[in-house]
Amino acid sequence: MTTLYNIVKIKIITDSSSNLTQELAGKYNIDIIYAYVIIDEITYRDDNSIPPQQFYDLIKKAKSAKTSQPTPNDIFEVIERNKDYDHLLMVHISEKLSGTINVVTSTVKKFQKQYPEGPKITIVDSKGASVYTSAIAIKAAQLVNKGEKLESIIQQIINFRDNDIQNFTTLTNLKHVYRSGRIGKIMYFFADILNALPIMSLVDGEIKPVAKEFGLEKACKRLLEEVWKCYEPDDELFIWVAETIPRKENDRFIEMIKNTETPKIKRVESFYLGNTITCHLGVTALTFVAIRNFDLDN
């Protein structure tokens, strides 16, 4: 009988809100459950079938944009095709940001009823989204590749999630995040009229405002100050910076990150902000994830 201590085959699964690329998913043998976006009442699967820049153009012109979590059938299909593994470790977008984990949980129960001898399944709330979630899924896969036991992997990725990852964002246009209900009417009004840009962070799985600054340059500096306070001067950080529409502000922001002396910036990588996240943040988000004890070469 399979136990936590003699499991041989562990599979990592995540959802498309993680922004995990097909290249990285293939490298680390991670399966992806796809969500959906609905632009002006037309539904698109969040599977990168629309190139990022084309999707950003859709968002800019859209009268309405919303997201829909993966369907139970989509989730069941992914679990079923991995049924020959001993254990499935499923890492998903924060339960406070999406209903995905609720749908996954109910679908797992249905699967286990149909396949009582199938793999054991553990669901982990990433308490984040986008590459915040990707980093946790990749970390888990790296530990699997090292031959770590399941119990140890779960403990390590939870510690990694709670101590090593920070995500901060500022927005020059709050229309999408206001429309999605992530910020209130008053904050939206002041940001729009006074150019008071909010600085937001993921705190225990929720997006919360932590500061505001007038003007993008000051907002970017404050954004970095808030992040660097979370680390020690000698820490070495992997940085993932979101790309959306090409603009000089993005280049300036990356330059500011690279010029940081403490903590130590060992690597800066760009990623395309995924479809589901873009629906909520819009195409003018300046967002990045700072990660300690992480790299993509492991």
Decide: 16 and 35 in contact? Cβ < 8 Å: yes
Decide if 63 is inside a domain. Answer: no
Decide: 116 and 108 in contact? Cβ < 8 Å: no
The pTM of this model reads 0.90
31 shares its domain with 171:
no
Residue 195 has a pLDDT of: 60
Q: What is the CATH number of the domain that holds 182?
A: 3.30.1180.10
29 shares its domain with 159:
yes
Total structural domains within the chain: 2
155 shares its domain with 281:
no
Q: Is 125 left (phi over 0), alpha (psi -120 to 50) or beta?
A: beta
151 shares its domain with 287:
no
Task: List pLDDT tens digits, range 122-168.
Answer: 999 999 999 999 999 999 999 999 999 999 999 999 999 999 999 99
Residue 11 has a pLDDT of: 98
25 shares its domain with 111:
yes
Residue ranges, the chain, pLDDT below 50: 1-7, 186, 190, 193
Decide if 58 is inside a domain. Answer: no
158 shares its domain with 186:
no
Decide if 3 is inside a domain. Answer: no
273 shares its domain with 185:
yes
Residue 289 has a pLDDT of: 97
Indicate the residue among 163, 183, 218 that finishes a domain.
Answer: 163
Decide if 55 is inside a domain. Answer: no
Please choose, from the candidates 39, 16, 25, the residue with its C-alpha nearest in 3D space to the C-alpha of residue 283: 39
Residue 235 has a pLDDT of: 97
Decide if 99 is inside a domain. Answer: yes
Q: What is the CATH number of the domain that holds 107?
A: 3.40.50.10170
Please choose, from the candidates 215, 227, 298, 212, the residue with its C-alpha nearest in 3D space to the C-alpha of residue 257: 227
Residue 167 has a pLDDT of: 95
179 shares its domain with 82:
no
115 shares its domain with 186:
no
Domain membership of residue 20 as a residue range: 10-35+70-163
185 shares its domain with 209:
yes
Indicate the residue among 163, 196, 212 that finishes a domain.
Answer: 163
Decide if 253 is inside a domain. Answer: yes
256 shares its domain with 128:
no
Decide if 59 is inside a domain. Answer: no
Indicate the residue among 130, 163, 196 that finishes a domain.
Answer: 163
Residue 176 has a pLDDT of: 53
Decide if 53 is inside a domain. Answer: no
157 shares its domain with 169:
no
